[in-house]
Every structure is written in structure tokens, then in C-alpha cells.
Structure 1
């Protein structure tokens, strides 16, 4: 390719130096050039593997239909919060309950239901929930429902489950190396034009990365230490590191999970503050 370009430039230079009295060229030399490569395909292994195919493979690797439509998910473990001054706080008991909506048109808007509890040495450190309409904390229902907007700092991973739904697009991006692992990168665009970038381990198709823009800055999550349990087709990331504008904010270590359990509406409506963990 370089040789062909050099030859072409040289030919143009010679033509530019001709005077009106120069005899016309009586023969043209055909210069063979390589096909152009779109920048979006630069740095991609297996270029025939498009975004939609990668997502389908990732779904299968994560648990197939169980992963795509789990109904609900419960996670428990612990969480370390990193402060700007270099200090850290450990929530030694940490849990999340999640009930998923059937459809999702905006990857970064709260939908379905979620409850998060964090405890540190027996003291409640965090209590936050969304019941499908309103947000709650230790003080109960938050009347300023602009609080719902804060969920946009957290909602994004679930886009992977709806990625093949009608109205969504999947665009493959240049490959990366994430935590030492070659990764396929796919940008999802939801029906509301929101974009979420995912990275997948090229050897296992496990989810390694998600990134999206938030009011707090560019948010990235890195997933590793996957584990499973007997009797269920599900791969759970045991370690999740969260970053905003490149700075790690917290690191969640999940040690257990439960898929498909039923949770009452009261689980997500906070009227009284628990005196001990609800899990």
C-alpha cells in the first residue's frame, strides 16, 4: 500500500512539472491499490464478527435466556468506597435487589425496581431504593423526584439485556485490551439515542467493561472474577470496579447471587429504617 501511494505521489509530481511544450503521455501505468479500510474496522480481529453477533455470543456465555430475562436478581457481598483524599471506607455487608422491566427504551433511566443496602460494622451506611415510580432513602420517599435523575449515574449495565430488542443498534468499535485481555468492543444505541460501550473477553465472551456518560462524568465499570453456582446457567462477576473520569470510586465484591426470586412491592418502598441487614 505504501509503495503504491509513493508511486502515485511521484507520478502526480512529475505531471505537475510538465510544461505546455511537453509531449503528452502516450501510455498510462495502472497502479494497483489495496481496498480501503473503514476506520471503524481498524484494529479489529475477526472483522466479519459484527456487533449483533458479538452481543448474541455474549448473551449465550452469560447464561442465555436466563441472563437476558432473569426476572429478578439479588447480589450480596461487600463494597469499598474510595475517597479523593486517599482514604477508604468498607461496607462489610452490601446487597442489591433488582426486579427487571420487560422493556427498556433508555439505558440510563431508572426502570423496574431496585434496592441497595450498605452496612459498616453493624451501622447502616446506605439505604436507597426505586419502586418503579419514586426514589426512597433512610428518610422515606424523596419528594423531590428529580432525585430519580441520579440513577443515571448507575443504570447502564442492563442495556446488554435489551441490546437485541427492536429499535436498538449494535456497532462494533476498535478492539481494546482490558485488564490484560483482548476485548471486542460494541457500542449500543438505545431507542432514545443513548449510547453505552461494552467490552467482551475475546476468548470467553464474558463482559469485561461498560462505559457511558453521566452527569458525574464518564463512568466505567470493569468486571472480573466470574463465578457460578450449581443448577443455574448464570455467570456472575465477583469483582466490579467503578470509575468516574478515570478515578476509581468504589469496588464491589459479590460473593453470592440469586436469580428469579419473587420480591414484594414493599421491599422497594422504604417506610421504616431497618435496624439490621435485610439479607
Structure 2
């Protein structure tokens, strides 16, 4: 009886363990490894900070008409090592969109609290917000133990053949990535989100002097409808970022 219990417990432990990494397709893993190299290698894989500056256009989801335009759109990030959850907030982030002197919107996350220009965002609302927006960074963890990588049918994106890979985090949450077959660069990402089926298109890549490759145009869609397009003109990697930048505003 003791032997049977021991075997049963071992089986249950095996079944509940994050075995996805053992089930990965080696060819899919090679596609991700190529993408890491194409985007800048170790620097792109493990950045400490990232600052992006540019402009953005936001669309009305019902009509497709331009709702607002930000002539100053900025994002600051610090990154969390060993990220395992694909669509949860990680590290620290602040985004601000301005039209002239007017703030269109502002959002920040200091590692615990999410806030906007209107004040602190309730935790349930914040979790849903980040679950609809966080996703790209999980590719930086995808080669680690506990993740699974599998091919999906290839597609043409922007008239170019694109290799598709499903990345499953240790909880089994899936994110779909598209890789340009010629360059190896990430040109597409998609996942199910509280806001709808979220897709991103990446294009107009530039290589910085340090080897980092950045997409200067990013278009976001929900349920097939374009939400906004961002046009990055400045990129700074591993620069000094003032910690107070991420702190919630005082009441």
C-alpha cells in the first residue's frame, strides 16, 4: 500500500509540474533564439531600463475615426528578471500621452500600485488593464525552463512570410508571436485579453549603435479593430531613470 501511495504521489507531482519546456518543439525554439539574436542578443534579452519617445494616434473603435493625436508620447520601463506570467504587470512602467500642453492620458505602475491622471486604479481594474496590455516582454523569458514553444501555421503579414510560434508560460497561458522569415524579427503578437483579442503589428525597424533593434511603428488592435498606432522616434536603453517617475501622485 505504501508503495502504491508513493507512486501515486510521484505521478501527481509529475502531472502538476511545469513540464512545458520538455514538450517544446526544438525548431520553434530555434526561431525564438534567432529573434533574440536579430533584436540585439543579450542586451535585448536582459535590458535594465527602456525609454521610448514618439507620437501616437488613437481611433474611435466604433467609427475608425481619429479620436485624438499625441504629439508627445513617452514610455519608461524597468524590467523584472525571471518573469513567468505572460499578461500580468511586471517591473515598473509609466506612459504619458500629451497633445500640446494637454494630457490625453497617463498611467503608471510602481511594482505594486497602478495609477492614472485620475488617481489610484483599483486592483481588480488594474489587473484587467495590464492583462490587456502586457505581453510582448514574455518572449524574453520564453527560452527558460517551464515555458513551451510550438509552431502555429505560418502567415503572410505585410506581404512577407511570417513564422508563427505559440509561447506558453508555466501556467499554460498562450501568447502568439510572428517572426519575419527573412530577418527573424518579431513583427506580430496576439493573445486573448479582457478587452478582446489583442494583436500588435511591428514594423519600421532601426538598429541602434549598441545593437538593439527597435520597431518604430507599433499598431494595436482589439477584436480586429485598430485601437492606436505608435510611432517611436527616440530609443534609449539602460539609461538612468529617476525612481520617482513611477511613484503614484500624492492625494
User: Is TM more than 0.5 here?
Assistant: yes
Contact 2:175-2:191 at 8 Å conserved across structures: yes
Conserved? CA contact 1:135–1:147, under 8 Å:
no
Q: 1:255 aligns with which of 225, 230, 233?
A: 233
Residue 56 of structure 2: aligned partner = 79
What is the CA–CA distance in structure 2 between the aligned matches of 1:139 and 1:242, rounded to whole Å? 24
**1:162 maps onto 2:166 in alignment:** no
The equivalent of 2:34 in structure 1 is: 57
Structure index of larger Rg: 1
Which gives a bigger RCO, structure 1 or 2 (Cα 8 Å, sep 6+)?
Answer: 2
1:197-245 Cα offsets, whole Å, 9 max, x none, are 0000110001110000001111000000001222x11110010011011
8 A Cα contact 2:92 2:109, kept in partner = yes
**What do the CA deviations read for 1:163-216 (whole angstroms, capped 9, x no partner)?**
101101110111111111101110000011110000001100011100000011
Structure 1: how far apart are the matches of 2:216 and 2:162?
A: 19
Q: How far 1:263 moved relative to its partner?
A: 2.0
State which of 45, 62, 80 in structure 2 corresponds to 1:68: 45
Cα-to-partner distance string for 1:112-135 (whole Å, 9 max, x where unaligned): 100000001221111100000010
Residue 205 of structure 2: SS of its match in structure 1?
Answer: strand
CA distance in 2, matches of 1:158, 1:170: 15
Deviation of the 1:272 alpha carbon: 5.9
Bigger share in strand: 2
Q: In the alignment, is the contact (CA less than 8 A) between 1:138 and 1:270 conserved in 2? A: no
Q: TM-score, normalised by structure 2?
A: 0.86
- Matched with 1:237 is 215
Take 1:52 and 1:260, find their aligned partners in 2: how far apart are those partners?
A: 27
How far is 1:264 from its partner?
A: 3.1
Q: Please say which of residues 78-87 and 207-216 is displaced more in the overlay.
A: 78-87
Give, in whole Å, the separation in 2 of the partners of 1:85 and 1:148. 27
Of 61, 75, 81, the residue aligned with 1:96 is: 75
Q: Unmatched 5+ residue regions in structure 2? A: 1-24
CA-to-partner distance for each residue in 1:124-165, whole Å, 9 max, x for gaps? 1111000000101113333x2113211111000001111101
- Unpaired stretches in structure 1, ≥5 consecutive residues: 1-47, 274-279
Q: TM-score with structure 1 length normalisation?
A: 0.77
Q: 261-270 or 87-96, which moves further after superposition?
A: 261-270
